[in-house]
Amino acid sequence: MHREWGLFLIGCFGGFWYTKGMYAKAIPLFIITLVNLVFAVIIFRRRRGRSYNVYYSLVALFIATWSLGLGMFYFEPQAEHIWFWLNVIDFSGSLIATFFLLFSFVFHTEIRLGRKRTMVMLLPTLIVGYLLFFTHTINQGIMISNRGIFYGPYSFIFFSHFTVYLVAAFYNLFHVRRGMFGVARLQMNYVIFGTVFTAVFSSLASMVLPVVFHNFAFMHIGPYLTLIMVGLFMYAMWRYEHPWDFFAQINKTSGFV
């Protein structure tokens, strides 16, 4: 009898600390979701005559969705809900890479992306979304106890799409930067440094460690790094433009985000 009560108390105590650990990961992610959502609104409200602001506001929006998905991935106790949020995480990552690539084509360039070209670049994301939500070929299963993932046979499609689009986007930005001078070049430096730092270390925590080393302990770290990107963008907007109200419709002369 004493042994049974002892096992019961150990189970309750262990469950309490496990739940507490999951909440400790989830709550900061919800806060980061709000930060990126506000950032997306700020960028979108400054879109007049700047198509790249629309694209980057969508990048920030889906970073917020990615962070929310990760938070719910740790917060939800039921397997079917965890599965849904896992797919949201990956689909958001695909959309982040896609809209960042679109942004890289038009930021400080004369390029205008037509509807057909945009749809072609969105097509891989739609394929990834179908495989995520209607099949088990990208994510095959989940480990509920420690929030791990069993990857499916087509997981390479998601990882290849994400990697190729990000590499192409950074290539575009570095290529445009070579012909820039003065304030525009400084602005591009902030964009490149903020996004490269965030992309590299977030990918390491959320993709490389889980896929290559099956280490899922640091998946929640990725969204934290987006705060560096947000901070650099906000500083650059303050440093290279006149003082401005975040939610005011004010015409700016520098052409920054």
Q: Give me the phi and psi of 41, to 5 degrees please.
A: -65, -45
Please report whether residue 21 resides in a domain: no
Please report whether residue 23 resides in a domain: no
Q: What percentage of residues in the chain have a pLDDT greater than 70?
A: 84
Global pTM reads: 0.84
Task: Provide CB contacts within 8 A for 107, sequence distance 6+.
Answer: 52, 56, 173, 176, 188, 191
Q: Could you say which DSSP state residue 219 is in?
A: G
Number of domains in the chain: 1
Both tokens of residue 133?
Answer: 């939500």
Q: How far apart are CA 209 and CA 219, in angstroms?
A: 8
Q: How far apart are CA 45 and CA 60, in angstroms?
A: 13
Q: Give me the phi and psi of 3, to 5 degrees please.
A: -65, -40
216 pLDDT band (50/70/90 cuts)? very high
Please report whether residue 228 resides in a domain: yes
Please check whether residue 82 is in contact with residue 76, taking contact to mean a CB–CB distance below 8 angstroms: yes
Residue 171, pLDDT score? 94
How far, CA to CA in Å, does 183 sit from each of 114, 121, 144?
29, 30, 50
The DSSP result for 14-31, as a single string, is HHHHHHHHHHHHHHHHHH
Residue 147, pLDDT score? 87
Domain that holds residue 147: 28-240
Please report whether residue 7 resides in a domain: no
Strand, helix or coil for residue 150:
strand
Predicted confidence (pLDDT) at residue 256 exceeds the cutoff of 80 = no
Please report whether residue 11 resides in a domain: no
Largest Cα–Cα separation, the chain: 79
Instruction: Give the CATH number, domain containing residue 111.
Output: 1.20.1070
Predicted confidence (pLDDT) at residue 30 exceeds the cutoff of 80 = yes
How far, CA to CA in Å, does 74 sit from each of 203, 217, 252?
19, 11, 41
User: How far is CA 118 from its chain centroid?
Assistant: 20
161: part of which helix (H) or strand (E)?
helix 155-177
Please report whether residue 253 resides in a domain: no
Predicted confidence (pLDDT) at residue 225 exceeds the cutoff of 80 = yes
Predicted confidence (pLDDT) at residue 15 exceeds the cutoff of 60 = no
Residue for token digits 């990961």? 25
Residue 245, pLDDT score? 41
Which stretch, 97-111, 154-168, 197-211, 222-236, has highest mean pLDDT? 154-168
Please report whether residue 256 resides in a domain: no
Q: Give me the phi and psi of 254, to 5 degrees please.
A: -80, -20
Tens digit of each residue's pLDDT (9 = 90 or more) over 153-209? 999 999 999 999 999 999 999 998 888 877 778 878 888 888 888 998 999 999 999
Please report whether residue 246 resides in a domain: no
Position 156, amino acid? F
Q: How far apart are CA 201 and CA 223, in angstroms?
A: 10
Greater pLDDT, 46 or 86:
86
Over residues 112-129, mean pLDDT: 92
Residue 183, pLDDT score? 74
